[in-house]
Amino acid sequence: MEQTFAVCRVSVAPVRASQTDKAEITTQLLFGDQVEVLEKAEPWWKIRNAYDDYEGWIDFKQLIEITEPEFHLSRNQQTLVPLGTLNKVIAADGSIYYLAASSNLPAYKDGVCELGKEKFQVSFEPHQTKAQVSGTDLAASALFFQNAPYLWGGRTLFGIDCSGYVQTVFKLAGIRIKRDASQQAEQGITVNFLPEAQTGDLAFFDNADGKIIHVGIMLNANQIIHASGKVRIDPIDDEGIYNPELGRYSHKLRIIKRFIDPIPTR
């Protein structure tokens, strides 16, 4: 198959494990996400997300084909949709798209972004990632999603899973991490002990078989914010996350990783 590239043309698009509407949603594409098309079995295309190399199947009507130069030009861009619920772009026909935080704005310039040959008027001030980011910055973004419902494969305020949540917060900070918790656990620098954890560190949790199944963002050495039922703040200790509503530990701590420079100590 001739190499094909495309970009997500809708606000949120489900990516499925196989080419059927009944298949599991493994992740989502957001507006402006660039992909490489690996296989075509219309109406389904198998795609690889340029941001994190995640693969899956998507209805091709939710994509716009772009050229290879457009693909390479946009894949490392840093112009994003900011935190908020009313961020919208307006198509040439006047129709409105409400966009999720961390969505891309390809080829953004002077209030306009472009998806292939289509242009969209951007009605908000885009988010520009910083050259340097702090744990406080990460925590501020993380708290925006508090109480967002848990959704397997989700990446938005209206439904998000644990690793999608972490990836989104870190994307807004300009830190690229993988999609799944088990993949994210292989990145970063290990923090040896929980009392050494700092704001913005990631804590990972495993099951009885030792497989990493959950991740959350440390607010401090005693609290974590994570997506479990909803995005919530819970206490954490050496055993794991304690859920006060359940009256028991919900997740067993495996490892803590750091992705930003540590806070200087005196």
Give the pLDDT confidence of 133-161 residue by residue, as tens digits: 999 999 999 999 999 999 999 999 999 99
264 in any annotated domain: no
pLDDT value at position 266? 46
Write down which residue in 127, 150, 183 finishes a domain. Answer: 127
**% of the chain exceeding 90 in pLDDT:** 90
Which residues are CB-contacts of 137 (< 8 A; sequence separation ≥ 6)? 130, 173, 200
Task: Give yes or no: residues 118 and 18 share one domain.
Answer: yes
Residues ≥6 apart with Cβ < 8 Å to 257: 184, 185, 187, 188, 189, 190, 191, 201, 202, 204
Please confirm, yes or no, whether 251 is among the known catalytic residues: no
- Predicted confidence at residue 42, as pLDDT, reads 87
Identify which of 243, 247, 212, 221 has the alpha carbon closest to the alpha carbon of residue 230. Answer: 243
Same domain, 98 and 76: yes
Compute the mean pLDDT over every residue in the chain, rounded to the nearest whole number.
95
Residues 120 and 140 in one domain: no
Instruction: Convert the pLDDT of each residue in 74-131 to its tens digit.
Output: 666 779 999 999 999 999 999 999 999 999 999 999 999 999 999 999 999 999 888 8
- Residues 142, 123 within the same domain: no
Say whether the peptide bond before residue 264 is cis (omega within 30 degrees of 0): no
Residue 163 in domain: yes
Query: Catalytic residue at 226?
Result: yes
- 201 contacts 219 by C-beta, under 8 angstroms: no
Residue 81 backbone dihedrals phi, psi, to 5 degrees: -75, 130
Indicate whether 36 and 147 sit together in one domain: no
Q: Is the pLDDT of residue 39 over 80?
A: yes
Structure tokens at 182: 């088990």
Asked whether residue 25 falls in the same domain as residue 87, the answer is: yes
Report the number of distinct structural domains present in the chain.
2
pLDDT band of 1, cuts 50, 70, 90: low
* Angle (nearest 5°) at CA 191 between 50 and 211: 60
Residue 60 belongs to domain spanning: 4-127
Please indicate, yes or no, whether residues 165 and 108 belong to a single structural domain of this protein: no
Last residue of a domain, one of 75, 93, 127: 127
Helix (H) or strand (E) holding 223: strand 223-228
Q: Do residues 122 and 154 share a domain?
A: no
Q: Is the pLDDT of residue 263 over 70?
A: no
Q: What is the pLDDT of residue 73?
A: 75
Q: How far is it, in rounded angstroms, from Cα 59 to Cα 39? A: 12
From 91, 110, 127, give the residue that closes a domain. 127
The CATH number given to whatever domain includes residue 196 is 3.90.1720.10
Choose, from 8, 113, 226, 251, the residue flagged as catalytic. Answer: 226
Does the reported pTM lie above 0.85? yes
Q: Is residue 266 part of a domain?
A: no
Q: In this structure, are residues 100 and 30 in contact, taking their beta carbons and an 8 Å threshold?
A: yes
Whether residues 20 and 81 share a domain: the answer is: yes
Residue 214 annotated in active site = yes
Same domain? For 16 and 35 the reply is yes
Q: Which of 8, 127, 162, 251 is catalytic?
A: 162
Contact of 8 with 31, CB cutoff 8 Å: yes
